[in-house]
Structure 1
Amino acid sequence: MTAFAKAIARSLLIVWAVLAANAAFAQVPVPNGNGNGAPAAKVEEKPADPLGRDTPAGMVSGFIDAAAEQNYDKAAQYLDLSQEKGAWGPSVAQQLQRILDQGGYVFSRLRLSADAAGDQDDGLAPDQDRFGAVRTENGPVDLIAQRVDGKDGVKIWLVSAKTVSDLPALSRTVTSSLVDKILPYALRDEYRIAGVPVGHWLAVIVLAVLTFSVVWAITAAILWVVFRFRGSESRISRVLGASALPIRLFLTAMLLRIALVLTGVAIVARQHMSGATELLGWIALSWIVWRVVDALAEYAIARMTLRGRLSMLSAVTFIRRSVKFVLIAFALIAGLNALGYNVTAGLAALGIGGIAIALGAQKTIEHLVGSLTLVTDQPMRVGDFCKFGETMGTIEDIGMRSTRIRTLDRTLVTVPNGALAAVQIENYSRRDKFWYHPTLDLRYETTPDQMRNLITTMREMLLEHPKVDNDPARVRLLGFGPSSLPVEIFAYIHAVSMDEFLEVQEELTLRLMEIVEASGTGFAFPSQTVYFARDKAPSSANRSPQLAPAEHPDSESDSPNRRAGSAIRA
């Protein structure tokens, strides 16, 4: 597996660990509960090796650290000396360091296996792993690590007995490195920083400057050729121009690793620089992808805008942000791995904490799913005028978590995408036609002939107008209203915007007014007819005997007023 593939695998393993922890936690029996849960059996944990030889990566790191301290007694404990009778361990360890300094190299942290079982897909025996190689005249010779039984039955990784037995022959094939040939004795052997001669650190600085200069010159020439023949506005020119600096940094990091090996810089210095170059390489690679995504997104937005495919702008923006989010996650994980942090084990060890994080992120995941729904279904896009719930406004941005809407009051409303995907959205910008539906209230004095002529003239006016759809373009007398004769007009207007519709609507309304005026009738005003009547007062002969004047002393004085008041009715 390549380093990049391993980084992806580790990232996927992190996601799987969080999800698996959630499922596993749900299946854990509860002690002292309903009595069904059995007590968990104690798992006997094997003690960790104090020298970190549990994995091939730990073995290599421990040997390099011991060599940097010039503690060759400790470094010898990373070698399998079982087949070397009478061999002095510190001398063998020093011999291995000299071979690595002058003609050998070890793999980076990303390539070395951090699994106790080692890399099972390298084509070697299950208990063997490659951890480096030595360049010889007959080709590279692999350096093999072997998993053996240590003290107390603990499995540990050591430099294999076969590799240890080959060290004398390998030492005769390597010569003094180019750096050692150039440096004076004082810079080569006397003064050391972090276990590395000062001269080798100076060589690292010089090689870094020279590598960057060469890469800059080569890339500048390539860019000049591309801009000369493709133009500065072409897609490839935009991508290369935007990512020129990170490309140079990435190439510098890769070539510097090769230059350090070829010039024979000390293995300890190379291992110290390995983490820095890997980190720089991942940062540069992430930077390149970031710039490429931006350049391609801007190019796609410009082309879609030019072609009028505005519905895809929101999808491009969402994909752009999603790729950047994933890119940051991968870069962070790879960068921590390059610095020597075991991110996978650390996150997997969170256990219940990972479950809590997953539960706390439910709303965030809901909004991300809502974002995917909005992008795939595309009920709205940036620039559309929509109504959802009680809010109306223009969509300004559809993000990964929320959508921003500019209301008619010019306020900015931010709505989570999870909530927005669950409500009814009315998109006014997606109308293919505008409904023109006025009702004209004509006076009751309008004669049938006037009404027939009026309806015919209105229908002809609608059919002749270029912006009015002929199907249906209907004009009908609805019946008898309370105070008018209602005439319904039903038509659709072809318009691309509300402003254009309002303009056509105004023109049609004015023509309707002219037609009504020319027909000799007019519009009815809301009115109500009130009728007044006076009832006659009953005569005394017909009055009931029970209503005697004695019983109603004021009947004579008040009766005329009462009769007058009761006679007025609306």
Structure 2
Amino acid sequence: MSVPMPLIFILMRFFKKSPVLRLFLIGALLSPALFPVTAQAQLNAIKSESSADTAAAEPDWPADTLGRRTPRYAVQGFIEAIADEDYAKAALYLNLNRKQRKQGEQLAHTLQRLLDHGGKINPYSLINDSYSGNMDDNLGPDLERVGSVSANGETFDLYLEKTTDKAGGPIWLFSSQTVQRIPTEIAQTEPPLADKVMPAVLVKNKWGGVPIGHWIAMLLMALLSYALAWGLIHALQFVLFISWRRAKEEPIAGIIKAFTLPLQLYGALWLFFQFSQRAGISIIVRQKFSVITVIAGLLVFLLLLWRLIDVLGRFLERRMIRYQHQAGLSAVLFLRRGAKLAVIIFGVIGVLSTLGFDVTTGLAALGVGGLALALGAQKTVENFVGSVTLIADQPIRVGDFCKVGDTVGTVETIGMRSTRIRTNDRTVVTIPNGDFSSQRIENYAHRDRIWFHPTFGVRCDTSPDQLRYLLVELRAILYAHPKIDPESARVRLVGIGDSSFNLEVFSYVLTSDFNEFLEVQEDLLLRMMDVVEASGSGLAFPSQTIYLGRDAGKSKEKTQAAEQKVKEWRQAHDLPLPKFSPERIQSLRNTIPYPAENGNS
């Protein structure tokens, strides 16, 4: 006995027979912006393919009175004929040669007995219902496998083959090869197990061509199958929790719990299939229940997806809350709702298709409507993709101080459509995420240190030795200050302006807090201004400014003192230009008290 066809195969078969459904899914789920064609061209493509499929499906021959134009309805017609015990009609579904036509009724009855005693036929919804049959089953264009039976200890497959009638239309019949393997007589077998255990009154009285007891047995076997599957799965779960320590931890415990009920139901379906086949339940009853079995299998698969979506969603939701990631939390909630909606839509389509409803026409209309909706919601989709990019790449987070385009401020919220930034003017700027993700983003919150780079312009009448004094003393301040990175510290004479000698200061302050940087910068600027004053020079005034005042000139005493200091450095061969020696830098490190006592910088 074989296991029922896997659910994955059910889904593949379902999609293969509906090209319009594939177009709908592609058009509805993907934004038209991803394709280099116009919307009108896509609409025309869908309409033309739909009309082509319709034209190809329209027959040029009259309808067959027995419904044998497609494999599905050929099998269904045969089952209905034997349910009515009309074996003459059932024989018309067999491809018989001249010698076999006299035994047609007997062969049809024998095939029924083989199917009742352990044989099986695929559920109707899994049998192809097109005139040409399934072209992808590697059986050729005129053959279709629909089940299997056992006769005289040998198991063989049941095939349909396509023939043609006088009008040239297709007629699907049980193949001549299959008919040849049906024995004219089979050994007398014991009654089925179901007939043995049931009262005689339930065996003699029939409903729908089948003993009433078979219908009752199917219901009892369904209950028994579920009870056994429940016990087996819970026993397995108990053993798993005892033997595996991590089975009680999240998210593993949630995943195990999500699988419990679907495995329970799928196990019940498998046991139900096995019991009904081994108990000798009539193929007529089993085929009636096959539709329910396929729908139940599809719903079990969708239930598993639903529960896994819940488990994964709750796990990610807790992580987002733990890290206070509001944008990520919004994305998780949105995607979870979208995934559940997709499961519901897929389930409805699958159930309707299994029940025999033609969903291709409605799906074609929905595909065009979905494409039009995608065009109208293009900006919304763009903003959603932008928000996903922001969440995945995380160039900014809530609370970061950043610059986006011309906007500078603190990020307050990152939503699914837009991001809000609180500016220094205390206004709120809302930027759509589609635009936000495409702009240049400068995030100040990720700085590990802050750049200190003032330029001092000193008077043009400053002597070279005074400049040397300034270069030495300003560098000494940088090297001595505990909040300055000594590797980056430098002071250079970078140019001669119209009214000044320009001294560029370059260093990094060892802090990422902007308020602390302002304190250190203030301290450094005051100390450097003291050095400029001690040199006997001064800060230059811009040449465009007319300065009316009596110039006291340079201080002779301070000028002489600065020049004397440089002279002493020269005599001692200790003038630290063009650079300080590593020993001198090390001797200066952290000699400036900071913060200074009593506020004296």
TM-score (norm 2): 0.63
Which one scores higher on RCO, CA 8 angstroms, separation ≥ 6?
Answer: 2
**Aligned equivalent of 1:383, options 389, 393, 397:** 397
Specify the code of the residue in structure 2 equivalent to 1:255.
Answer: L
CA distance in 1, matches of 2:144, 2:196: 33
> Does 1:504 pair with 2:509?
no
Amino acid at match of 2:263: I
Q: Is contact 2:162-2:173 (8 Å) kept?
A: yes
Deviations along 1:175-198, one digit per CA (max 9) or x if unpaired, are 422222222233334363x66554
The answer to whether the aligner puts 1:284 opposite 2:297 as a matched pair is no
The residue identity in structure 1 corresponding to 2:215 is W
2:77 to 17, 40, 62: 62
Q: Provide closer, same or farther for how the CA distance between residues 441 and 197 of structure 1 changes in structure 2, counting only shifts above 3 A.
A: farther
Q: Which amino acid aligns with 1:269?
A: V
Cα deviation for residue 471 of structure 1 reads 6.1
- Rate the CA distance shift 1:504–1:236 in 2: closer, same or farther, 3 A: same
- Alpha carbons of structure 1 residues 66 and 6: separation in structure 2 relative to 1, 3 Å: same
User: Are residue 184 (structure 1) and residue 199 (structure 2) matched?
Assistant: yes
* Residue of structure 2 equivalent to 1:274: 290
| Structure 1 residues 291 and 481: CA distance shift in structure 2, 3 A | farther
More displaced stretch, 368-377 vs 503-512: 368-377
1:208 and 2:222 are equivalent in the alignment: yes
Identify which range, 468-477 or 262-271, moves more after superposition: 468-477
- Residues 143-542 of structure 1 aligned to structure 2 (within 5 Å): 143-164=158-179, 166-167=181-182, 169=184, 172=187, 175-190=190-205, 192=207, 197-231=211-245, 232-233=248-249, 236-292=252-308, 295=311, 334-341=350-357, 343=359, 345-346=360-361, 350=364, 354=367, 357-362=370-375, 379-380=393-394, 383=397, 385=400, 394=411, 403-408=417-422, 415=432, 417=434, 423-426=438-441, 428=443, 431-433=446-448, 435-436=450-451, 472-473=488-489, 491-492=507-508, 500-512=512-524, 515=527
User: 127, 133, 149: which one pairs with 1:112?
Assistant: 127
More deviation in 431-440 or 127-136? Answer: 431-440
Aligned length: 502
Q: Name stretches of at least 5 consecutive residues in structure 2 with no aligned partner.
A: 28-39, 49-54, 550-601
Corresponding residue to 1:4 among 4, 8, 11: 8
The answer as to whether partners of 1:459 and 1:473 remain within 8 angstroms in 2 is yes
Other-structure match for 2:573 = none
Q: 1:299 to 1:379 in 2, by over 3 A?
A: closer
What do the CA deviations read for 1:372-416 (whole angstroms, capped 9, x no partner)? 787689554683656656777749678xxx545354389896946
Contact 1:103 1:177 (8 Å CA) reproduced: no
* Separation in 2, partners of 1:493, 1:301: 39
Structure-1 residue corresponding to 2:567: none
Distance 2:120 2:374 in 1: 44
Cα distance in 1 for partners of 2:307, 2:47 equals 47
Whole-angstrom CA distance in 2 between matches of 1:106 and 1:501: 75
**Is the CA contact (8 Å cut-off) linking 2:151 and 2:183 kept in structure 1?**
no
2:153 matched residue in structure 1: 138
Q: 1:223 to 1:356 in 2, by over 3 A?
A: closer
Q: How far 1:131 sits from its partner (Å)?
A: 1.2
Matched residue type, 1:285: F
Change beyond 3 A, Cα 1:103–1:505: same
Task: Flag the 1:357–1:294 CA change in 2: closer, same or farther, 3 A.
Answer: closer
CA distance in 2, matches of 1:288, 1:119: 29
- Which residue of structure 1 aligns with residue 565 of structure 2? none
Instruction: Name the residue aligned to 1:128.
Output: 143
Structure 2: how far apart are the matches of 1:383 and 1:149?
A: 70
Q: Is the 8 A contact 1:395 1:406 kept in 2?
A: yes
- C-alpha deviation, 1:106, in angstroms: 0.3
Task: Describe the superposition over 1:124-177 as per-residue Cα deviations: whole angstroms up to 9, x where unpaired.
Answer: 564232211223461423222222223522111122345446555475465422
Q: Structure 1, residues 530-560: CA drift from partner, whole Å, max 9, x if none?
A: 989xxxxxxxxxxxxxxxxxxxxxxxxxxxx
TM-score normalised over the length of structure 1: 0.66
The alpha-carbon deviation at position 459 of structure 1 amounts to 5.1
User: Higher mean Cα deviation, 256-265 or 316-325?
Assistant: 316-325
Instruction: Report % sequence identity.
Output: 27
- Which amino acid in 1 is paired with 2:371? A
Distance of aligned partners of 1:130 and 1:355 in 2 relative to their CA distance in 1, 3 Å threshold: same
Correspondences of 1:47-126 after superposition (within 5 Å): 47-67=62-82, 75-83=90-98, 84-87=100-103, 89=105, 93=108, 96-109=111-124, 111-120=126-135, 122=137, 124=139, 126=141
Letter in 2 for 1:8: M
Contact 1:260-1:270 within 8 A present in 2 as well: yes
Is the CA contact 1:243–1:287 (under 8 Å) kept in the aligned structure 2? Answer: no
Partner SS for 2:220: helix
